Structure 1
């Protein structure tokens, strides 16, 4: 298809920063493009250039005649006096939009249906809505209008896991046409993989294009950086030779050939400007004893609403749990109850003697007192010197590793970007060496580079970790277990992970219990459903008690019926577990081979896509086997 928008040698400077530097790119019909890059790197500016909102300083931007463009900005421009109906449906007659399945899908997915219960009804005024509700209304209006070019700036902000899955499915199955395109800035890597057919990385004024979503982007970027490393090493070797030659001989000799001096200067001039790399450092964790935090027969309420009723949750040493649920289900309140910041309406909370607890909230209120102070002072307030093994780092050295280099350390905290404040907030918490870490939406305001660094840090976390997040990639990456708040006063264990949560939500809504994830096979979905029903059958009559042991069902389901299993059934279950473990080992070997092949073929996009499909098949097969293993383990008890 022809390009809807063509950008040729475009340059744009904002102040002293060169945001776009001679870029050339195009958006064609059928494209679904994800835009990634560091905070402040120029992603939003690029979107504005594509939309025609901002003119470039040099170069040319061309659009096909009659192109309709819709833009979702991070700050909506809705009329506060308009109704939800007018903002979303405009002047469309009711018989038109009510009979259109695509529009009904938008109303159901973003607003809760024809009565729009999420935002208080279609007749509700926009003005009193919360920021998240206004953003849903703005996004719904764009999707109903279905412009030729849809430009989305962080569309998954304020959406829960279910909303992100719905949006990905809608963009791929209902919105996509050969004559339209979607360009979305996002830090949600699961969403990027589910939607994008191409990925743009905005970096230092350039835009690098990669085929495929996040997985293909990571592999291709690794290959590009490897090649750049080879070039840099060759340049460094040449530079060392030239500088060594220039230093040779008596100091008074000034008749060195000019071409040798020019060659050395050219090598030096070719050195790219240094970037402020981010390295979230792993602080020592205070020893954690056997007892951590227990909520015993806990009842948690907000006003007249009961969020949790008679629930027992014992956090275990080293437990890594992700919490999912719809917005307003009480996830943040649950974390605050664990931290002792929210009172219990019933039951009690006990804390181990050795527990040092830290909580990263969605707010950055603890930094408000430092708004007029410098970054370095905010770091030194916790500790001026920190120890890593046998080494000691000063607060200035630590701030440098966190991306606050040179003059940036002298910046007022109030002048930092949202991502920088969030990074500083997390660092101050970790410097106190907690052994229980509660993270409430930790991915807010983080770019992908910082998210990757955070995940690397959490991989080696020796304490207890509880994460509330709508970032499905993060949950599946760093947590060993997921639990859900479904609005029924219980805490539900999810042996099948986020995919099981989406099936439960679909079933509760009366819709088909189908997989939201296009990358999952029907076999995996069927096996997960079978495992869930088997678990429910094994739970027995005690399932309503609302208590859970570590690793068990927090809704009260357990293995109380395991004692009724015959010895023959137990032997068969053990054989099944042993067989599955062997198959999983073989799958791991296959997976390693595919990863190696993808790295070797990183520049061959078609080969990478083929291998990526093979990798998805391996993941699907592994999920089926893991669920089979869990089913057998439930039998044994």
Structure 2
């Protein structure tokens, strides 16, 4: 493949530290490179050096003559006086840019919901970021550098961006270098991974899954200094291999050695044990939303929400921006009262929310980290062991020296980690995570997921990070046109529903402000038309209707979840029977009685499931 750009013996030094020392890398036609590493190790700096936005102290960056380079920097800003259209296509005539399929695809995928003639300065920060990304992608570049392009994109937008970048060039042309903490995106787009660490760049073949495989092998061969990181990556690898084998199809090296590392690694979570612990701490009642609705003036955000959250339940919430996800979380946490229906909270429930903002740290601004910890409890139970707050901080990437740092001087990622720790030390039994991946690198995300694996409470997560949702939750729901829709097929089912809707197979969300009439945020008129159309197309009501039917549907889902749990418990008892001492007759009898009780319960649940199914189909 033809060479496009190269960097030789680059060195960059700041007054307090050396960022890079004698690094040499190259970019060729067809390269799709993902850059990972800890916060502060130089990922964004590397992109600026390669794109020519920053001069190295030593070494040089050279490119082939005529190579066109485009870059999206985290600090990029657009003239606030420009309109959206002028910022994206400049002064080109409409017939010129509208005839370009790539430009139309970018506008449809990123800014279809924005007013083409709106002033950029009047947009939100997230909307301005999407305009900046569109500005880069509409141009015909040979190399595209993207620094955190998935920020401010929802799950659907991230899926679109992955598809666009995958089809933007032929496999043997163009080049992409992307810095992102979105691990699903790395796997979907990249064929090479660069890890930036300790002033060097270490290349790996493949996307994130392949990077984990190779890094585990590298850590296995390293000394005991890397033992803690190795164990964490082994657990991550076990989930990748067991949960979605297709993710590891990219690496072209032998993986037998890496697979040998996980032969004795247990499942990521012992679902039965966590369910039992959660029930013991929470009791049977957690939070029940009963025909709950929320209306702000004339605008109805949520309606007829029926959701009975079970002990130990791990649920991910999906939905487009503005659909009502945060409003749903506030109903669960008690921050917001429903305008219709009611919310019932169990007496033993202790809810904590990891919010998008860092307001929890405001009161600690001048205190040092160790002083904040001294005000809290002395230990925390996780994974069957007791850890001190300092040990938890170390597990989340803090060094001993950073315990002396004032909270106000911490970086964004460090503040996020401290916020997460303070929430856990409060010992909640219901944890709500609202976009928890902000400001965290891939290592810290893996550390957070590792802690959540052994946390026995009820978990509700709203995140645009598809990898995190699939990793820490067991089921997903969508906030869908004001209601709550179960997604047995997970994120893939949600994306398919959105595609069908935009093709016209479902309710229309077209907006008049888009220059191409693409899908966007529905207007009140669109919603009224949608409701009328849906009402006209619905079949004649069955014997069960309204709240009664929804109650049956929710009970059916509850019965199905309980059947799954009973099946898991039966398998656990079967394994214990198989391994039990044949001479321990009392122990065998107790296990047999427990197995019989589960079988009886399973029979009763299956009968109830059939009864409910017949009522709903009548």
The TM-score, its normalising length taken from structure 1, stands at 0.71
Output aligned runs, 1:317-356, within 5 Å: 317-356=311-350
User: Which moves more between the two structures, 224-233 or 500-509?
Assistant: 224-233
Which residue of structure 1 aligns with residue 83 of structure 2?
A: 83
1:203-255 C-alpha deviation (Å, 9 max, x unpaired): 1111111111111111011111122239999xxxxxxxxxxxxxxxxxxxxxx
Alpha-carbon contact 1:83-1:124 (below 8 Å) kept:
yes
| Whole-angstrom CA distance in 1 between matches of 2:125 and 2:611 | 45
Pair 1:500-2:497 in alignment: no
| Whole-angstrom CA distance in 1 between matches of 2:494 and 2:108 | 18
CA distance 1:632–1:173, shift in 2 (3 Å): farther
1:432 to 417, 426, 429: 426
1:383 to 377, 380, 384: 377
Alpha-carbon contact 2:6-2:63 (below 8 Å) kept:
yes
Query: What is the RMSD of the two structures over their aligned residues, measured on CA atoms?
Result: 3.3
Pair 1:373-2:367 in alignment: yes
Output aligned runs, 1:35-54, within 5 Å: 35-54=35-54
Offset of 1:497 from its aligned partner? Answer: 0.6
| Whole-angstrom CA distance in 2 between matches of 1:91 and 1:186 | 32
Alpha-carbon contact 1:492-1:553 (below 8 Å) kept:
no
Pair 1:6-2:6 in alignment: yes
| Whole-angstrom CA distance in 2 between matches of 1:130 and 1:546 | 42
Which residue of structure 2 aligns with residue 456 of structure 1?
A: 450
Which residue of structure 1 aligns with residue 110 of structure 2?
A: 110
Offset of 1:306 from its aligned partner? Answer: 1.6
Which residue of structure 2 aligns with residue 470 of structure 1?
A: 464
Alpha-carbon contact 2:319-2:479 (below 8 Å) kept:
yes
| Whole-angstrom CA distance in 1 between matches of 2:375 and 2:452 | 24
CA distance 1:363–1:231, shift in 2 (3 Å): closer
| Whole-angstrom CA distance in 1 between matches of 2:189 and 2:610 | 35
Unaligned ranges ≥5, structure 2: 228-273, 507-537, 572-608
Offset of 1:30 from its aligned partner? Answer: 1.5
Offset of 1:546 from its aligned partner? Answer: 9.5
CA distance 1:68–1:466, shift in 2 (3 Å): same
What SS class does the counterpart of residue 310 from structure 2 fall into? Answer: coil
CA distance 1:29–1:382, shift in 2 (3 Å): same
Offset of 1:92 from its aligned partner? Answer: 2.0
| Whole-angstrom CA distance in 2 between matches of 1:314 and 1:374 | 41
Which residue of structure 2 aligns with residue 612 of structure 1?
A: none
Which residue of structure 1 aligns with residue 438 of structure 2?
A: 444
Which residue of structure 2 aligns with residue 316 of structure 1?
A: 310
1:211 to 180, 200, 205: 205
Alpha-carbon contact 1:559-1:634 (below 8 Å) kept:
no
Which residue of structure 2 aligns with residue 300 of structure 1?
A: 294
Output aligned runs, 1:120-131, within 5 Å: 121-131=115-125
| Whole-angstrom CA distance in 2 between matches of 1:136 and 1:207 | 29
1:26-85 C-alpha deviation (Å, 9 max, x unpaired): 111111111111011100000000011111122221111222221111123100000000
CA distance 1:390–1:471, shift in 2 (3 Å): closer
CA distance 1:99–1:335, shift in 2 (3 Å): same
Output aligned runs, 1:403-422, within 5 Å: 403-422=397-416
Offset of 1:349 from its aligned partner? Answer: 1.2
Unaligned ranges ≥5, structure 1: 113-117, 234-282, 514-535, 563-573, 583-630
Alpha-carbon contact 1:382-1:431 (below 8 Å) kept:
yes
Offset of 1:427 from its aligned partner? Answer: 0.4
What SS class does the counterpart of residue 138 from structure 2 fall into? Answer: helix
Which residue of structure 1 aligns with residue 502 of structure 2?
A: 509
User: Which moves more between the two structures, 539-548 or 422-431?
Assistant: 539-548
CA distance 1:159–1:339, shift in 2 (3 Å): same
CA distance 1:390–1:198, shift in 2 (3 Å): closer
| Whole-angstrom CA distance in 2 between matches of 1:4 and 1:143 | 19
Offset of 1:91 from its aligned partner? Answer: 2.1
CA distance 1:400–1:474, shift in 2 (3 Å): closer
Offset of 1:149 from its aligned partner? Answer: 1.4
What SS class does the counterpart of residue 117 from structure 2 fall into? Answer: coil
CA distance 1:384–1:316, shift in 2 (3 Å): same
Output aligned runs, 1:245-284, within 5 Å: none
Alpha-carbon contact 2:396-2:447 (below 8 Å) kept:
no
Output aligned runs, 1:556-575, within 5 Å: none
Alpha-carbon contact 2:382-2:455 (below 8 Å) kept:
no
Which residue of structure 2 aligns with residue 273 of structure 1?
A: none
The TM-score, its normalising length taken from structure 2, stands at 0.73
Alpha-carbon contact 1:491-1:546 (below 8 Å) kept:
no
